Amino acid sequence: MKVGAIIPAAGRGTRIGEAVPKQFLELQGKPLLHHTLQVFSVCEVIDYVVLVMPQADVDESGDEWLHGYDVVRKVVAGGPQRQDSVYNGFQALEESTEIAVVHDGVRPFTTAEMIKETVEAAEQHGAAITAIPVSDTVKQVVEGFVERTVPRGGLWRVQTPQAFQCGLLQKAFAKAREDSYYGTDEGGLVEYLGKQVKIVSGSELNIKITRKEDLILGESLLCLGSQSRKRGR
């Protein structure tokens, strides 16, 4: 079974308030994207990665990313929105690929085991996404005032990696494009198609770097990981 991963890193990261796109911001002297690719490089179920970047970065540094990591097979340009970028990456997968994994380029703390479990679930069920149960109280707010408290039973916070049988994801993309529908993740496109999506347990540590505070937390997580590896020697 051939498994290809699509790593979208084509966003501009406006919420983080930096001139540099967030995927190129550094943790311990290395870009966020480097840390993400390191995990995929050591994951036994991943055959190759398609990296999706802004066109300007493909032109400027695409070859460096392509030749700097054995696991990266192609570097392609993104689109206007995340869904367009993932679609471009999906179109670049090798024809013999059976499972497509989608993972945020700025989510560097996933694990090889989490990726493997998601791929296995997709192989069995067609589509699988990582998620964690909502533990905080959730409020619906209208014009700055609480409208109601939303029951949190059955609510999950969705993460990546997400994995799909390629034929199913192709149908989901086709339906979304036909209807001009934009979801917030690829699991949502499969839902829109009317198909079930299997949940795989994610992790509170599998954070997405979207704010300055996340960078601080990310540095701490890397430091803890380094200390754990040193103690294990």
Q: List pLDDT tens digits, range 46-66.
A: 999 999 999 988 888 888 888
| pLDDT tens profile 126-144 | 999 999 999 999 999 999 9
Separation CA 187–CA 197 (nearest Å): 7
Q: How many CB atoms lie within 10 A of CB 139?
A: 11
* pLDDT for position 230: 44
Residue 95 has pLDDT above 80, yes or no: yes
Residue 85 pLDDT exceeds 90: yes
Residue labelled with tokens 């024809």: 95
Please tell me the pTM assigned to this model: 0.91
- Domain 3-232, second-level architecture: Alpha-Beta Complex (3.90)
Task: Identify the bridge partners of residue 131 per DSSP, sorted by sequence position.
Answer: 158, 201
Percentage with pLDDT > 90 across the chain: 74
Rounded to an integer, the average pLDDT of 192-201 is: 98
The pLDDT, as a whole number, for residue 27 is: 77
By C-alpha distance, which of 24, 26, 20, 74 is closest to 51?
A: 74
The CA-based angle 219-108-32, given to 5 degrees, is: 70
pLDDT at 229: 41
DSSP state letter for 151: P
Residue extents of the structural domains in the chain = 3-232
ω before 80 within 30° of 0 (cis)? no
Helix axes 112-125, 32-41, angle to 10 degrees: 60
Separation between Cα atoms, residue 155 and residue 164, nearest integer Å: 22
The pLDDT score that the predictor gives to residue 232 is 46
Q: Give the angle 44-54-163 at the CA atoms, nearest 5°.
A: 30
pLDDT (0 to 100) of residue 19: 56
What mean pLDDT comes out for the span 73-81?
95
Percent of the chain with pLDDT over 70: 91
- Quote the tokens at residue 163: 């994995």
Query: Residue 14 pLDDT more than 80?
Result: no
